[in-house]
Structure 1
Amino acid sequence: MKKYLSIFLLACSTLVSMPSLAQLSDSEAMNMAGLQRSLSQRMVKNYLMLGADVRVDAAQRQLQETVERFDASQKALNAYAPNPAIKAALAQVDATWATYRQQIEAKPDHAQAAAIFSTSETLLQQTQTVSDEMARHLGEMGAAVNRTGQTQRIAMLYMLKSWKVPAPDIDAKMDKAVSDFETILGELEARGTPNEEIAAAQRRARAHWGFTLKGIDMHNTQSSVPTVITVSTDSLFRQLNELTRLYAGLQADE
């Protein structure tokens, strides 16, 4: 569990900085591959926010930053690719990314939203394949599956429902995303609270998660609160980054 959480936390912190095109280390490449999945979800979330007129300025800024980050990360991973299987998996991502980027940077159109979501799901599966191939190549070091970014998937699925996009199995996918994040948060809490600062950060993360769940429950009773969900999930993501920083400090002291 310690090894799993170390990779999870490092990946959270990596999202806040642009990747370098310099040669990646194995651990950097593994984390970056996992983060590509998160970025695929964040982009469509921002597209939907723009279309639904929800926090437009923040959505536009996040979308531009995320498109640039995904593209730079993909270039860095292509430069790193250590074997034919990883190169082939990355080539599939490249092909889908060429289409997806055009879709996601176009003016939001409700009639196109379901197709864009479908492309994002393809991209999510392909980036998962890259992560799987990376884990296979790296063996024990890559065995822990990176599952960061569930907050962005939850917000994206919520926006699909809020904007009434006719996409299949949204409720089932939302239930799974919520369950997955609950597992992640529970495993993080199981690591313990070695000091009050970490204990307080864990309490804040749990509180933000509770607030997010209330917003989801409100939608289930026909009261959509997309602004609440997008703000709370972004706040929750920042709380995880704070926990990342604190745990990284503990590891540096060991």
Structure 2
Amino acid sequence: MNKTTLFKIFALTCTVLLFAKPMNVNGQSKYGMLTFNKAVNISGKQRMLTQKLAKTYLYLLGNPTDAKAKRELLTTKIIFEKQNKILGANSQSQLTKNLISKVNKTWGKFKSLIEGVPNLKNAKEVVATNSILLKETNDVVEAVILESKNANNASSDDSLSEEDVELKQTINKAGKQRMLSQRLALYYFANSGSLKDKNNEARLRGVYSNIDDAITDLLISNFNNAKVEEVLGAAMAKWEVVRNNEEKLFKNGFTPKEMYKLSNDLTKAFNKVTISYEKVKL
């Protein structure tokens, strides 16, 4: 069998998996080719990517020659679009599909803002509208969790079903920390220069409080095991860098490069926490 034939077989297999119908493994329904835990994680990543795109655009407004940031903007756009297709192709819920279609419609407008050379006019529009796309992607996460709950209603073990939904809510909460890590930098940049105003400062302070409060909730989660506690501790250590420099945060004491890197480091740390919750076995 030649390489061309092998490649065709591989491509066909991937296509079948992508559009697969929900399966049952050990009596548990799946979100197409994904577990529901994975679907909650991926849909949650979409929220984070909206904020990463907006943050990177604002960063490039003042740092237009940063080649790495330019690449991140491009790759993040590609990943966002691919993951939205995967979520839509694997869902069996009309509600979820409708909400993903709504995201795609808003995404088209948002994408046009962040393409091309960054400029102040588009930057102001990005700050004004990024939360719309964020809300719509969050609605998709909630729909995926509801889809999981409905799938589990067929189970005869009500206590297991309730615990499973609680776990997905915990995955969701951990995933939000990734998004908030990017949103923190977004409004740090929006709280400086020509974009600075009282609303952007208030949003920055709100994001700071939301991250801090959610860490407390995660610390007392019923799903914490040795692995979760290890990666959660590492994420908290990253967060302490921000907490110990609170005044610096609100008075633009970090350089743009420092804040850009700090937000990515926080996101990576909380991504490990989210994945650890995703892998918890009930």
Q: TM-score range by the shorter chain?
A: 0.7 to 0.9
Q: Does 1:124 align with 2:154?
A: no
Change in 2 beyond 3 A, CA 1:59/1:133: same
Q: Does 1:24 align with 2:54?
A: no
Q: Which of the numbers 87, 92, 95 marks the counterpart of 2:97?
A: 87
Q: Does 1:155 align with 2:185?
A: yes
Q: Does 1:56 align with 2:66?
A: yes
Worse overlay, 230-239 or 139-148: 139-148
Per-residue deviation, 1:81: 2.7
Per-residue deviation, 1:40: 0.2
Confirm or deny: 8 A CA contact 1:30 1:134 kept in the other structure. yes
Per-residue deviation, 1:27: 2.7
Confirm or deny: 8 A CA contact 1:34 1:148 kept in the other structure. no
Confirm or deny: 8 A CA contact 1:52 1:163 kept in the other structure. no
> What are the equivalent positions in structure 2 for 1:102-141 lying under 5 Å apart?
102-139=112-149, 140=162, 141=164
Aligned mates of 1:74, 1:29 — CA distance in 2: 11
Aligned mates of 2:271, 2:249 — CA distance in 1: 27
Larger RCO (alpha carbons 8 Å, 6+ apart):
1
Confirm or deny: 8 A CA contact 1:86 1:133 kept in the other structure. yes
Worse overlay, 41-50 or 61-70: 61-70
Change in 2 beyond 3 A, CA 1:168/1:65: farther
Confirm or deny: 8 A CA contact 1:54 1:227 kept in the other structure. no
Aligned mates of 1:107, 1:77 — CA distance in 2: 30
Residue 15 of structure 1 corresponds to none
Confirm or deny: 8 A CA contact 1:21 1:75 kept in the other structure. no
Residue 242 of structure 2 corresponds to 212
SS at match of 2:112: helix
Count of aligned residue pairs for this structure pair: 231
Q: Which of the numbers 219, 222, 235 marks the counterpart of 2:265?
A: 235
The alignment's TM-score, normalised by the length of structure 1, stands at 0.77
Per-residue deviation, 1:245: 6.8
Q: Which amino acid aligns with 2:115?
A: E
The unaligned stretches of length 5 or more in structure 2 are: 1-16, 20-31, 150-161
Aligned mates of 2:111, 2:275 — CA distance in 1: 32
Aligned mates of 2:198, 2:33 — CA distance in 1: 38
CA RMSD across the alignment:
3.0
SS at match of 1:169: helix
Confirm or deny: 8 A CA contact 1:154 1:174 kept in the other structure. yes
> What are the equivalent positions in structure 2 for 1:161-172 lying under 5 Å apart?
161-165=191-195, 169-172=199-202
TM-superposition CA deviations, 1:152-176 (whole Å, max 9, x none)? 1111111111343156722222222
Per-residue deviation, 1:112: 1.7
Aligned mates of 1:208, 1:155 — CA distance in 2: 14
Change in 2 beyond 3 A, CA 1:162/1:238: same
Larger Rg: 2
Aligned mates of 1:94, 1:237 — CA distance in 2: 24
Residue 209 of structure 2 corresponds to 179
> What are the equivalent positions in structure 2 for 1:5-16 lying under 5 Å apart?
none
Aligned mates of 1:155, 1:99 — CA distance in 2: 22
Aligned mates of 1:95, 1:108 — CA distance in 2: 22
Residue 225 of structure 1 corresponds to 255
Per-residue deviation, 1:103: 1.3
Q: Which amino acid aligns with 1:120?
A: N
Worse overlay, 80-89 or 217-226: 217-226
Per-residue deviation, 1:220: 2.9
Q: Which amino acid aligns with 1:24?
A: M
Worse overlay, 115-124 or 49-58: 49-58
- Identity over the aligned pairs, expressed in percent? 22
Aligned mates of 1:44, 1:216 — CA distance in 2: 23
Q: Does 1:38 align with 2:48?
A: yes
